[in-house]
Amino acid sequence: MRSLALLALALICLPVTAAAVTPREPARVAPGPTCLDARGLRDMNQTDADSVTVLDADQQPWRVHFQSACPGVDDAADAVLEAPSGWACGGPRERVRIDGRHCPIASVARIDAREFAAEAKLSDARTVKSLPTVQVQAASETGSRFRASPAYCFSARALRSWSEDPDGIKVETNPKQSGGNRYYRVELGTYCPEVTNAPEIAFRSGFGNGLICGNPGDRIIASQALPGDLRRQSNPRNYLGCAVMAVYPVR
């Protein structure tokens, strides 16, 4: 009798429990393979007047081409991608609104993380404003010319692990310290036998700020000497490692 009573109670409570569950919103489906979700864009950069690069809510990079030249996106106080359906596919009435003026969109195309990182880095370098002339003691002038972005930088302190694959060096970082990115591709200027199969590696920031962005002086080094490496054994200071040329997030 007790079991029957419990079963009846469960059946009575079941509809109430089911009714209390909020239905999950259906996933948004793009109307075409080259349609950008205009909601929740994370970043927008411009290096030429004919287009901008954007990062969508899922951190996928895109290039948006204008119907005609539309400069000034990086200098604008307000830049918004407007699409009536919420998807930008290069159709009518899709535009980028820049401080009250409108730039109609001609087309939208996916790009890779490497291209987006290069555009973001160049855009940031071009838009850093110069301060009035001041006198500073023992400070680096070069370091102030670049802004750090998780689109093309990671913190050497956030490094968790690294591996080699056919495309080069892949590092794992702490996503909380890397703008939500867990993995980065590190491209080197030349083949680096000192690092290949090294037991441990480390990164050295050229600006001394702990950030690795492919800036001048950024290097990857083997933190332990390989057997037979007489340069490290004779004088560790002679070992400079290999130059880092580009950094960008990968999945």
**Residue 207's pLDDT is what?**
92
Quote the mean pLDDT of the chain: 81
Distance (Å, whole) CA 180 – CA 150: 8
What's the confidence (pLDDT) of residue 24?
64
pLDDT in the model for residue 167: 83
pLDDT at position 25 is 63
- Which pLDDT score is estimated for 155? 95
pLDDT, tens only, 168-192: 899 999 999 999 999 999 999 888 8
Contact present, 53 and 109 (Cβ < 8 Å):
no
**For the chain, which residues make up each domain, given as ranges?**
36-115, 154-250
Higher pLDDT, 138 or 199: 199
Instruction: Tell me if 213 sits within 8 A of 148, measured CB to CB.
Output: yes
Q: Which residues pair with 28 in a beta bridge?
A: none
pLDDT band at 219 (very low <50, low <70, confident <90, very high): very high
What digits encode the pLDDT tens for the residues 133-150?
333 333 334 334 446 899
Write phi, then psi, for 96 (nearest 5 degrees): -110, 120
Which tops the pLDDT comparison, 213 or 138?
A: 213
From the CA atom positions of the chain, what is the Rg in Å? 25
What pLDDT score was predicted for residue 211?
Answer: 95
The amino acid sitting at 112 is: D
Residue 232's pLDDT is what?
46
Residue 96: closest CA among 52, 127, 60, 137: 52
Which residue is associated with the tokens 């002086």? 217
Q: 140: closest CA among 90, 193, 208?
A: 208
Task: Round to whole Å and give the CA distance between 75 and 46.
Answer: 10
| Local confidence band at 103 (pLDDT 50, 70, 90 cut-offs) | very high
Residue burial 109-120, b: 16+ Cβ < 10 Å; e: rest: eeeebbebbbbb
63 pLDDT above the threshold of 50? yes
Residues 36-58 have pLDDT tens digits of 999 989 999 999 999 999 999 99
Assign 79 to helix, strand or coil. strand
Please give the pLDDT value at position 128: 56
- Model confidence band, residue 131 (pLDDT cutoffs 50, 70, 90): very low
90: left (phi over 0), alpha (psi -120 to 50) or beta: left
CB-based contacts of 203-211 (< 8 A; 24+ apart in sequence):
203/156, 203/159, 203/244, 204/156, 204/241, 205/156, 207/140, 207/142, 207/143, 207/146, 208/140, 208/143, 209/143, 209/148, 210/155, 210/156, 210/157, 211/148, 211/153, 211/154, 211/155, 211/156
Over the stretch 13-38, which tens digit does the pLDDT of each residue have? 444 444 455 566 677 888 988 999 99
64-69 mean pLDDT: 97
Cα–Cα distance, 110 to 64 (Å, whole number): 9
- Using CA atoms, how far residue 106 sits from 91, 103, 237, in Å, is 7, 9, 54
pLDDT at 158 over 50: yes
Q: Looking at residue 231, what is its pLDDT?
A: 47
